[in-house]
Homo-oligomer: A and B are copies of this chain.
Amino acid sequence: MEKKSFTCDYNEGAHPLILQRLLETNMIQEPGYGEDSFTASAKEKIRQAAGCPEAEVFFLVGGTQTNATVIDAMLRSNEGVIAASTGHIAVHEAGAVEFCGHKVITIPQQEGKISPEGLASYLKAFYADPTWPHMVAPGMVYTSWPTEYGTLYSRDELLRIRGICKDYGIKLFIDGARLGYGLMSDAADLDLPAMARLCDAFYIGGTKVGALCGEAVIFPDGNAPRNFFSTIKQHGALLAKGRLTGIQFDTLFTDGLYFKIARNAIERAMEMKALFERKGIPLFKDSPTNQQFPILTDEQMAAIEGKVLYETWEKLTDGRTVTRFATSWATTREDIALLETIL
């Protein structure tokens, strides 16, 4: 692949420090299934970084897997999960949540986010309908942070969503597949400990933030569902060589590496955003994180054909195309400079 790719944030392997650490530790014998010392160390570092010493931390392999496993474990058998109509679990996970027996209940979104008002309104209407026991009662709200459109809920929005969840006795789960890119955005008004305080479960994405694979699920108050380890196994989400995720997260949470490399992506993304603006290319969403959504004409797309890779997102009625350009931990200033010469 000769062309520079901005298609996603998982185009490269892993951050070099991770590979180096895998190499250094390679012949050390350790037990399997997450009983290794690297995993223990990584968990402890995450508990400290998230300011929740009581937290239970588990490492899974990928995002869809993590969503399905956590959602299934936290819901009762007859409950569904509320998500934005653009939510990843509602669209791009091949029905993984439904496969576990749970309906994904979609409600309207703005900029990829559900609003506290929209959520409250849905819940009020649901229980006002006398036929609700014939419908799927929600047991959880799922949000992604950043969202599929790169946008961020503010701390206040999340607190209000949490409050509504508590009023109705339902859980709040946050998909942090790109958590680092959210936390390091200038638009974020919360940090990792704040995130841990305002939800029932969330995860710190590794796959899209410099790891080969791996997502770190956190139950901040030690509130993991009973025998969650068995649930992980049951869902096929348990690595025999747990060291693989242990070493990666241990590295990412040593000397703040996770945050530093996420910050790199944000800085490059903001440079890219400014570049699009300078070139007069409108943006579909005002994203403060590593995914940008420039709207290109057919002519513009033809002009860059073969020089740079990106994703096409959707076709507008006026014939223009919403595209996605993503930066990552691996994106360099040179990459952005190159993009400038191409556009």
Contact = CB atoms under 8 A, between A and B. Distances in A.
Nearest to A105: B95
A91 B125 CA distance: 14
A338 interface: no
Contacts of A80: 95, 98
Contact of A93 (B14, B134, B137): B134
A330 interface: yes
B78 A73 contact: yes
Contacts of A10: 32, 240-241
B78 A95 contact: yes
B32 A64 contact: no
A interface: dominant SS: loop
A307 B277 CA distance: 66
B229 A133 contact: yes
A19 B26 contact: yes
A213 to B, nearest CB: 6
Interface stretch (A231-239, A281-289, A295-303): A231-239
15 contacts: A13-B22, A13-B26, A13-B243, A61-B236, A61-B239, A66-B236, A77-B77, A77-B99, A77-B100, A78-B234, A79-B227, A92-B135, A94-B230, A95-B135, A100-B101
Given A91-B135, A94-B136, A101-B98, A64 B27 contact: no
A98 B98 contact: yes
A124 interface: no
A22 B19 contact: yes
Contacts of A16: 26
A78 B227 contact: yes
Given A13-B26, A94-B136, 13 more contacts: A11-B31, A11-B32, A12-B26, A13-B241, A19-B23, A61-B62, A80-B95, A95-B234, A96-B235, A133-B229, A135-B230, A137-B227, A235-B236
Q: Which 10 A-B pairs have the closest CB atoms?
A: A65-B236, A13-B26, A94-B233, A95-B136, A94-B234, A11-B29, A95-B103, A98-B103, A78-B231, A5-B29
